[in-house]
């Protein structure tokens, strides 16, 4: 039988996290105010950091406490000509304790409607993959069995060539072919495509955000698919975000996924399907904490994924996440407290996790 987290355990977690939270706020006070501060002529250089403390309690196991360096990234971008640009980004892999190539792209940008990318980058896929951990709305991204289960070489990326374009500032289309051998172990080419419609404010560029913290009123629907040798990975995603008259902001995000022999979270299972819903509210009042000014945000998410056609019995996963965030400079400086409860009907043990994370970008 699954075990719920008793109130006294949750209170203990809060007491343990409180001094860490206050220390992180003091560190954020000295954070750089904007991204890509170093300007080497036409070349811009930036960096991103995510680090956290988490307490994890697994049913039938023992509590673990961990301070983690989740990500450290270096961003380099620059133009060659008015239409030819390059992008080179790296990311620290906390699993291997090594730095890997994130993006390495030759970008040919002829017009809003005609862009061609060649190299390593995020293929056409779901919104969650296209915003990544630094531009996601919640902290515990990519742990629900639903988001970004597409095959990848590293951090959602693959090597290939892609066309993308935006029409009438509302319709975004992308399609490409990618190396299957490095991403799936199968040498057949992976084909990928995505279509997105922005009904309200438009979203610039190819990569996306999980939220705009009120900078945009957004109503967007997108669908993507990848195909390799008859196997498919397909998703549909939705994001609604509205700034209210009182300057508060509410968001609703959701996604449906169907990984049919391609991608997915569990290698031992051929198929998986799932969906999630996320809701948030950014309070309008600016709260001063010493030298730091920010706004509080409450966020809740529920996801369910089913894993079938595996070497062991089929099972389902239910994930509930709650965040209470202090948003200082949107994606450039934010402190995020989180509680995540993950439950399985069989095969895997239940566990819950609570902690605090910090994100800085410049």
Q: pLDDT digit string (tens) for 128-159?
A: 999 999 999 999 999 999 999 999 999 999 99
**Full domain range(s) for residue 151:** 38-46+72-335
Other Cβ atoms closer than 10 A to 6: 9
Three-class HEC string of the chain: CCCCCCHHHHHHHHHHHHHHHHHHHHHHCCCCCCCCCEEECCEEEEEEEEEEEEEEEECCCCCEEEEEEEEEEEEEEEECCCCEEEEEEEEEECCCCEEEEEEEEEEEEEECCEEEEEEEECCCCCHHHHHCCCCCCCCCCCCCCCCCCCCCCECCEEEEEEEEEEECCCEEEEEEEECHHHHHCCCCCEEEEEEEEECCCCCCCCCCCCCCCCCCCEEEEEEEEEEECCEEEEEEEEEEEEECCCCCEEEEEEEEEEEEECCCCCCCEEEEEEEEEEEEEECCCCEEECCEEEEEEEEEEEEEEEEEEECCCCEEEEEEEEEEEEECCHHHEEEEEEEEEEEECCCCCCEEEEEEEEEEEC
Let me know if residue 54 belongs to a domain: no
Let me know if residue 344 belongs to a domain: no
Let me know if residue 199 belongs to a domain: yes
Let me know if residue 30 belongs to a domain: no
Let me know if residue 56 belongs to a domain: no
Let me know if residue 24 belongs to a domain: no
Other Cβ atoms closer than 10 A to 328: 22
- Please tell me the distance from the alpha carbon of residue 278 to that of residue 302, in angstroms, as a whole number: 7
Q: How confident is the model at residue 41, as a pLDDT? A: 64
User: Is 217 in contact with 200 (CB distance < 8 Å)?
Assistant: yes
Q: How confident is the model at residue 95, as a pLDDT? A: 82
Q: How confident is the model at residue 35, as a pLDDT? A: 39
- Please tell me the distance from the alpha carbon of residue 354 to that of residue 339, in angstroms, as a whole number: 4
Q: How confident is the model at residue 40, as a pLDDT? A: 61
Q: CA separation (Å) from 360 to 82, 230, 357? A: 31, 42, 10
User: For the chain, which ranges sit under pLDDT 50?
Assistant: 1-37
Output the domain CATH number for residue 290: 2.40.160.10
**What is the total count of domains within the chain?**
1
Q: How confident is the model at residue 38, as a pLDDT? A: 57
Let me know if residue 65 belongs to a domain: no
Please give the structure tokens belonging to residue 240: 């609604």
Q: How confident is the model at residue 14, as a pLDDT? A: 39
Let me know if residue 132 belongs to a domain: yes
């Amino acid at each position: 039988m699954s075990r719920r987290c008793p109130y006294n355990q949750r209170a203990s977690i809060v007491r343990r996290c409180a001094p860490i939270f206050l220390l992180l706020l003091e560190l954020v006070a000295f954070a750089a105010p904007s991204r890509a501060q170093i300007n080497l002529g036409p070349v811009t250089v930036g960096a991103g950091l995510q680090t956290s403390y988490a307490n994890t309690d697994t049913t039938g196991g023992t509590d673990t406490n961990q301070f983690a360096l989740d990500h450290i990234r270096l961003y380099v971008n620059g133009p060659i000509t008015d239409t030819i640009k390059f992008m080179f980004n790296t990311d620290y892999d906390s699993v291997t304790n090594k730095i890997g190539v994130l993006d390495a792209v030759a970008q040919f940008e002829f017009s809003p409607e005609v862009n061609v990318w060649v190299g390593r980058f995020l293929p056409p896929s779901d919104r969650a993959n296209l915003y990544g951990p630094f531009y996601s709305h919640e902290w515990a991204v990519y742990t629900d069995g639903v988001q970004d289960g597409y095959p990848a070489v590293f951090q959602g990326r693959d090597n290939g060539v892609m066309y993308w374009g935006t029409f009438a500032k509302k319709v975004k289309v992308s399609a490409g072919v990618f190396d299957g051998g490095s991403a799936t172990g199968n040498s057949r080419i992976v084909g990928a495509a995505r279509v997105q419609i922005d009904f309200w404010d438009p979203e610039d560029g190819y990569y996306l955000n999980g939220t705009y913290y009120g900078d945009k009123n957004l109503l967007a629907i997108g669908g993507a698919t990848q195909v390799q040798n008859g196997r498919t990975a397909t998703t549909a995603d939705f994001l609604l975000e509205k700034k209210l008259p009182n300057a508060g902001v509410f968001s609703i995000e959701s996604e449906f996924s169907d990984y049919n022999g391609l991608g997915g979270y569990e290698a031992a299972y051929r198929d998986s399907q799932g969906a999630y819903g996320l809701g948030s509210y950014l309070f309008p009042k600016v709260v001063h904490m010493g030298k730091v000014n920010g706004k509080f945000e409450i966020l809740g998410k529920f996801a369910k994924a089913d894993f079938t056609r595996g070497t062991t019995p089929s099972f389902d996963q239910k994930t509930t996440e709650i965040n209470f965030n202090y948003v200082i400079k949107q994606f450039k400086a934010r402190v995020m407290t989180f509680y995540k409860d993950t439950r399985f009907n069989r095969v895997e043990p239940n566990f819950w996790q609570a902690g605090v994370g910090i994100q800085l970008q410049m």
